[in-house]
Each structure stands twice: as structure tokens, then as C-alpha cells.
């Protein structure tokens, strides 16, 4: 697996999702054009054109809005995953004296940048009040 590096790529994922607002605005404008077309006596073609253009603009913003939404959603964390003893034995059978800490993933520059951006601000404003620490404590205590 090779790492790709783009020195000019910069993302600020912990900001408000402006793209989502833009999609909502374009869809509202499209709906308004259709509504005005229905109640007015003006020729319908310009309204159809406006609806189409608004739809194209909304679709242009949608992928980035979804990507940003998922990235912010993943910051909230997931439930802890547990494996059985048999699975653990399968993972450590070649190196029984080592400690297995989990699978993990390969860190890249973008991951380090994201951590840096999170540490610069109050991350509870992104994920909400309940922190991951509380989730872990509840799991340890056997609560859901």
C-alpha cells in the first residue's frame, strides 16, 4: 500500500457543513420555481430551466456535503467491538509472547492534520455533549 501525498491539499472538516446548507438552498429554489410556475400565468419554460439548473447545482454540492457529514459523524465514535478468545488465539498464534492491541489502520498526513485540527478547538461542539469516555465507562461497567 503506497501513501499518496498532495502538499497543496488542505481540508477543514470540523467546520459547519456549508455544503449541506447550499444543497438545501438550491433545492428550495428549485421548489420555489416549480411553485411559482404552477400559480403564475407566465410561460413555464424559464421555470423549468431554473429548476434544472438548481438541481444541477444541488447535485454538484451533494457529494462534498455527504463526505463532510460522514466525517463529522465518525468523530462521535462507535460502540466497542469485542472478539472471542478463539479469534484472539488465531491472531496471536504466530507470536504468543506479544500483546495484540487490535487491527488499527495506516495513518497518513491527512489523519495527523485532522487530529491537529480537533485539538485546536473544543471538539464537544462537533460531537455533542456525550463524550467517548462516557461510552467506554458505561461499557466497562456493563451498562448500555
Residue 119 CA to residue 83 CA, distance in Å, equals 31
Residue 125 cell numbers, joined: 461542539
Mean pLDDT of 86-115: 83
With contact defined as beta carbons under 8 Å apart, do 37 and 88 qualify? Answer: no
pLDDT in tens, 3-61: 666 666 667 778 889 999 999 999 999 999 999 999 999 999 999 999 999 999 999 99
Greatest mean pLDDT among 64-68, 79-83, 117-121 lies in 64-68
Angle at 113 between CA 112 and CA 119, to 5 degrees: 90
Q: Which comes out higher in pLDDT, residue 87 or 66?
A: 66
pLDDT over 90 for what percent of the chain? 35
Amino acid at each position: 500500500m503506497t501513501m499518496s501525498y498532495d502538499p497543496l491539499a488542505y481540508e477543514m472538516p470540523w467546520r459547519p457543513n456549508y455544503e449541506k446548507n447550499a444543497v438545501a438552498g438550491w433545492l428550495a429554489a428549485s421548489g420555489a420555481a416549480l411553485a411559482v410556475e404552477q400559480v403564475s400565468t407566465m410561460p413555464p419554460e424559464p421555470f423549468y430551466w431554473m429548476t434544472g439548473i438548481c438541481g444541477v447545482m444541488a447535485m454538484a454540492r451533494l457529494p462534498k456535503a455527504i463526505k463532510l457529514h460522514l466525517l463529522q459523524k465518525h468523530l462521535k465514535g462507535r460502540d466497542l467491538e469485542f472478539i472471542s478468545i478463539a479469534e484472539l488465539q488465531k491472531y496471536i498464534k504466530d507470536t504468543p509472547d506479544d500483546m495484540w492491541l487490535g487491527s488499527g489502520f495506516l495513518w497518513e498526513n491527512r489523519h495527523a492534520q485532522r487530529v491537529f485540527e480537533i485539538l485546536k478547538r473544543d471538539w464537544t461542539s462537533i460531537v455533542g455533549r456525550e463524550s467517548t469516555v462516557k461510552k467506554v465507562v458505561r461499557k466497562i461497567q456493563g451498562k448500555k
